[in-house]
Structure 1
Amino acid sequence: MFGRHVAGDAELVNDFPHTLMSEAPLEDGNALPDERLKVLFAYCHPTLVLETRVALTLGMLGGLTNDQIAGALRVPPAIVAERLAGARAKIKKAGIPFGVPRDGSLPERLADVLATVYLIFNEAYAGDGQLAAEAIRLGRMLAELLPDESEVHGLLALILLNDGRRTSRYRHGELVLLDDEERTLWDRERVAEGEQHLARARALYGHGAYVLRAEIASVHMAEPVDWPELVALYTELARLVPSGAVELNRAIAVAEVAGPEPALVIVERIEFEPSELDHYCSLHSTRADLLRRLGRTIDARYAYGRALQLTRSEPERRFLKRRIAELPPPAAADCEAFWDNALDRIKAAAEADEIEDAEAPAEDARAQRRRLPADAPDPAAHLEHVQPQLAKRERPPHGADH
């Protein structure tokens, strides 16, 4: 209900116009949905940071308490309270208006609102049904009140299509890849609703980022998957919103079309360029999987170890540990290739000024070792497997000059 709010923020609520305090749900004929939209635009004002917008929206429009918001966003309740107090002061000081922009600023302001709802759903993706329900409710409200905005329908389609797979993404607590999901577990009504909103976005000639993401989600759920179409969609999305995350997903699609080698080139370019993915588990797990497919098991083991270090999800940790356990023991050629590749990476890092003293090989090696995950296997642990083979390779042939 609209009237429910974050505990401890009655002072903030009392600063709002009385008409914004309606208890009526959106579906009621007596509801004031236009007022809710005005409040949503105020909470998503660009002067407020994204995390604060999310907390305000969840609390004031979603009715979540501070503790519930903190649990959903995985931050201490004190941080939530601090963000809300700061927002209260900023709203008063800046005189943020409650209303839907009617001038040329609407597209930019709407983008702020959609980004907030999108982040709420992203936080829900790992399994928080309450947050997912809030994102869907907000998306439906926006679609009802702004029916001619293609990006609104695109975002709602994206949320519904992904949420329709919620019950199939985990099996007995274990992570299930999309290809292995039990499609009979999908929420067909939710998926159908998502496709309807995607069709509406197409009818509005929508080509924005959320429409493209919804198109991508729809193609991923088709059987069989049209991988060349996904490469094209990700390429267009990368043009609209250049980011490491989009490039990473494009690499996964490229691997299905052209094989793991060209995909690995894309992934390693992301890894060596400054990006928001430096501490992103999926970057390293994707690289590990491509290396595994190329037979570079030692490189794959280190990359899986790095991903394992970064993830907060227990199902993901178990999945990555299974992947590591499934890797075969390294052969001599694998070790040789691993160290050749490590030297190449040291040189590349030095050229990119990631290692300060490129003239000191020993220091370079130590720096490169520090870049590996703390729980990565010690390179020396592989020697017992390969020393006999290396000895044979180094032994001169019979009768050769010594």
Structure 2
Amino acid sequence: MTEPSHEVADLGLAAAGVRRVDWAERSMPVLRSVRERFAAERPLEGLRIAACLHVTAETANLLRALRAGGARVWLAASNPLSTQDDTAAALVAEYGISVHAWAGMDPATYDRNLLRVLEPRPHLLLDDGCDLVHAVHALRPELLEDVIGGCEQTTTGVIRLRRMSAEGELRLPMVAVNDTATKRMFDNRYGTGQSTVDGILRATNAMLAGRTVVVAGFGYCGRGLAERLRGMGARVVVTEVDPVKALDAAMQGYTVATMADAAPVGDVFVTATGNRDVVRGEHLARMKDGAILVNSGHFDLEIDLAALDAAAVSVHRGVREHADEYVLADGRRLLLLCEGRLVNLGAAEGHPAAVMDMSFAVQALTTEWLARSRAGLAPGVIEVPAELDSEVARLELAALGVGIDTLTPDQEAYLRSWHP
């Protein structure tokens, strides 16, 4: 096999990366079954795919499925801190994927690598945060004539896509993979909940039981995070701007407060909103000594880092791995994790493979659907066909050995009729 184009930290890490990818695959039976079918049917034959995704072992198994289906794939990282360098090396050396990513790259290199994976004039885009879609629209619009469509798998990315579409700027069909029932329930709720707590513990070794943790945002990610934290004995305070979500949190027994009121009592603050400046200067000014600042949203905008820098008289970098201490004028110390970037992939390994199995199976099947539906799709944000989500759920139930009931003919007739 000819070695694909690449810029990675060290190809010598490939063997370790293969072991990591193989370990993840053990917990990804649904995606494995999709890959086996793809290998037999080759539904993506001849297609070029550009991807901006977290470079992890779970992502590697998604890309293996796409390669098995006949596609050629170019991958850039969707976060400068989340790349597993051994996985990146394995993707190049063992799986024939072109990778331009390494851990700790600077923002300028991150942007350059987005353009590198667009150079082959891709037919399909797989995005995580809408950065790749933004790059092709803003910097390489001439490539849009070749693009069939793409998938977006984050809440933040879907928000950006819907704004582009509302303003008439989105010039290709993009499927909101993030908005499927399986993705929201398992990836956003259970995956984010567990992996965010994992990242906090790895970065701080802090005791969460008995401490007050403020969760900003009570969407699927925030809800899962609040559940996991309460299960570990933390007192959870929820902040929200949506009255329905705030009411939901209150009815579930959480304390609901404004960020201004939560700031003096919180020991740990975790943002999971998809918005910016959720924790601002006026909140930092009221926090107690030793408060920990954590972001679990896609971009490093949820904590106002400029305000934090301005308030600090000194910064101690690397007081622990993935943790920087900001000393304020009055002597208070605030601990920022992962430079305000996504903590579950910056300080930990992201979602468990079993969770990503379903999310990436939906993404693989949606990519196949896009390839087959190319002629009939208009620019805009498109929902994943319900039958694909149901298929993934059925495959996962089968892998778990779980059986469910089926409707009888009489029940089906009843549901189709308005007669009693």
Same fold (TM > 0.5): no
Q: Which has the larger radius of gyration?
A: 1
Q: As a proportion of its length, which structure holds more strand?
A: 2
